[in-house]
Amino acid sequence: MMEKVAIKTEKTYHRIVIGDSRKMEDIEDESVHLVVTSPPYPMIEMWDSLFKKIDEKIEKLWERMELERNKKKKQRYIMEIYELMHENLAKVWKECYRVLVDGGIACINIGDATRSINGMFKLFPNHAKVIEHCEKIGFVTLPYILWKKPTNKPKYKGKGAFLGSGFLPPNAYVTLDCEFILIFRKGETRKFKPKDPLRYASSYTKEERDRWFTQIWEITGARQTVEERRVAAFPEKIPYRLIRMFSVIGDTVLDPFLGTGTTVKVAITLKRNSIGYEIDESLLPIIKKKVGISQKLLTDSYSVEIIKQT
C-alpha cells in the first residue's frame, strides 16, 4: 500500500500536452524543479514502431538492415539504429536540462535490453547511453537506484532463472532482474531560504529516508490495465518516492513521457504542480480517467489543462 502524506497547501496546476517532448517550447527556461519519467527503451521490441515513427532515418535504416545479407554490415546498421534511438531521447534530456532550475533533479527510469538480432544474442546497455548523453549535455550524475523487479523468467524445477545452455558452461547468460533509476542534477545543489516552511513541511521520516535512500528498491508492480501494460507504466510507488525525495510542496514536476498519467496523478496527491507530455493521443482518455478529470468537482484543489501541440 502506498504511503500517504496529508498537507494543506494552495491550489496546484497541471498541464497535459499531447505532443513531442523533443520540443517543449511552451515550458519556460528554469521553471521546473524535478523531472520524473520512464522513456521508451531502445532495442526493446515493443518500442521499435515508435522510434521508426518519430525518426524516418531509423525506419529507413531498419529496412536496409533487414535486407542486408552481410553480417558485419548488418551489425553496423543495428548499432547505427541504436545510436539514433538514443540521439532522439537525448533531445528530450537537453530540453529537460533547459527547463530545470539550478539544482533541479532529473530521475530517469530505464532498463537495458537483451535481444537476439542478426543471429546474435546481445546486451544493449541503455542506462550507460543515457548517462553518456546527459553528461555531454551538462548534467551531474548522482548515485542511481536499482529497481529489482519480480520476474517470471524461465526456471528449472522451480529453482533459479536461466537463459542459454542451462547447466553447461560457458554459453548461458545472466538474466536482467533490475531496471535503473538514473539520477542527475543540474549544476550545484539547490538553494533555499533559511527554514523555508514548504521545505520543512515536505520532510520525510527517518524510516522513509532509510528505506528510500538505498540503492536497491524491491517494488512489486501494481496490477495494470491492458493499456498500462501496453506502455509499460511504472507503479505509483516509484514517482511517489522520487517526488517526495527530490521536491518540495508547490514545486513543478515534469514527465516528458507521460504514458497513462501516473506521474501527474501522484503529483496531484503530493500537492506539487505538474506538466506531462505524451506523443500518443490515443492514451488521452486513459490519462483523463487516471487523474480524475471526469470526477473532478469545482471545489477541488487542483486544475488540469489539456493542450494539443500543433
The three cell numbers of residue 126 are 541503455
298 falls within a domain: yes
Alpha-carbon distances, residue 12 vs 139, 176, 286, 304 (angstroms): 28, 39, 21, 9
Tell me, yes or no, whether 212 lies in a domain. Answer: yes
Evaluate whether residue 163 is within a structural domain: yes
Q: What total of structural domains would you count in the chain?
A: 1
Q: Is residue 102 part of a domain?
A: yes
- Helix and strand counts by DSSP (H, E) for the chain: 10, 13
Tens digit of each residue's pLDDT, the chain (310 residues): 344 444 455 799 999 999 999 999 999 999 999 999 999 999 999 999 999 999 999 999 999 999 999 999 999 999 999 999 999 999 999 999 999 999 999 999 999 999 988 888 999 999 999 999 999 999 999 999 999 987 545 444 444 455 666 677 888 888 899 999 999 999 999 999 999 999 999 999 999 999 999 999 999 866 666 565 566 678 999 999 999 999 999 999 999 999 999 999 999 999 999 999 999 999 999 999 998 876 665 557 899 999 998 7
Q: Which of 284, 305, 256 is nearest to 23 (CA)?
A: 256
Q: Domain range holding 255?
A: 12-308
6: in domain: no
From CA 176, how far away is CA 148, in angstroms rounded?
9
- Whether residue 45 is contained in a domain is answered as yes
Q: What is the CATH number of the domain that holds 285?
A: 3.40.50.150
In the beta sheet, which residues pair with residue 209?
A: none
Question: The pTM is what?
Answer: 0.91
Long-range contacts of 290-297 (CB under 8 A, 24+ apart): 290/260, 290/261, 290/262, 290/264, 290/265, 291/14, 291/16, 291/261, 291/264, 291/265, 292/265, 292/268
7 inside domain:
no
In a domain, 5, yes or no: no
